[in-house]
Structure 1
């Protein structure tokens, strides 16, 4: 059972702790297979809400989520005794929001952004893989997905430039 008491076993989320709930993407990161892919879906409620505001609010909210994510991911990782547990997906939420910035709100483009972000997050081309291996703590958990999000953003805007 995933609901733990105050002293949780190593490697387990405490679903009574709001920080852990955020870290695991409201439970989507608890998927047995592909938790990062499932956890990325937790970005979409934030995305559709942020679309209602000016671009500067979207960017500010994403930046705040990234900075707070350093603490969320770091604390959860420390509590679990596992660095960058696969179920910690707050970093995927932020990376996906970065990739989606200024992408047309049309399902083919949104799906392409999802695929682009997951591609970079899974394959981890340089410098993503290097950062993932070299940087510890909450910052280390967040930074590789922020960079994957920026790579996804670049690919999306190149695609938009040529095909939209």
Structure 2
């Protein structure tokens, strides 16, 4: 790993490992997309089908934990919101999937659609996501734009599900 922006990254440190999405954020191209992909099997194994209240509890705990993970890791790297920090993508995708209609023949289509919606909002950053991304710093700043992208994607996904 001969990248100066990662000279202080230590994947043996569990905080760095989690912030970098178990290493998925190390992709040279599109680390956010790779990080979001890495969040899928974790969601599939542990969160799919979990009742709403415990699921929301996981999201809140994951957000709070993520603020600390992202703050600590970005400080260690000396780079605010390093592209390889993808814990925020994990939480954003899991927000998108909160009430995902995965039952029936269209389950995988909803999973892919939700993934695409989240990536769209995370990349395009419509207002106020872009504003938050620029104005709010630290671990909270790293997390909040992806949380909002997840909420936007959740809203569009649920609206689509209602209309179909």
Per the TM superposition, whether the score is higher than 0.5 is yes
Partner of 2:129: 128
In 2, Cα distance between equivalents of 1:10 and 1:81:
8
Unpaired segments of 5 or more residues in structure 1?
Answer: 3-8
Which stretches in structure 2 are left out of the alignment for 5+ residues? none
How many positions carry a matched residue from both structures?
158
CA distance in 2, matches of 1:159, 1:46: 25
Q: Secondary structure, in 3 states, of the residue corresponding to 2:28?
A: coil
CA contact (8 A) 1:62 1:94 kept: yes
Q: Do 1:11 and 1:82's aligned partners in 2 also have CA atoms closer than 8 Å? A: no
Show the counterpart of 2:153. Answer: 152
The alpha-carbon deviation at position 52 of structure 1 amounts to 4.5
The two structures have a TM-score, normalised by structure 1, of 0.92
User: TM-score when scaled to structure 2?
Assistant: 0.92
Give the superposed CA RMSD.
Answer: 1.5
User: Do the aligned partners of 1:92 and 1:145 also contact (CA within 8 Å) in 2?
Assistant: yes
Cα deviations by residue, 1:23-43 (Å, 9 ceiling, x for unpaired): 010011100100000000222
Q: Determine the structure 2 residue equivalent to 1:107.
A: 108
The question of whether the paired residues in 2 share the 8 Å contact of 1:128 and 1:147 is answered with yes
Q: Distance in 2 between matches of 1:93 and 1:132?
A: 17
1:35 matches 2:31: yes
Tell me, yes or no, if structure 1 residue 139 matches structure 2 residue 140: yes
Structure 1 window deviating more from structure 2 (56-65 vs 141-150): it is: 56-65
What CA distance in whole angstroms lies between the structure 1 residues aligned with 2:5 and 2:162? 47
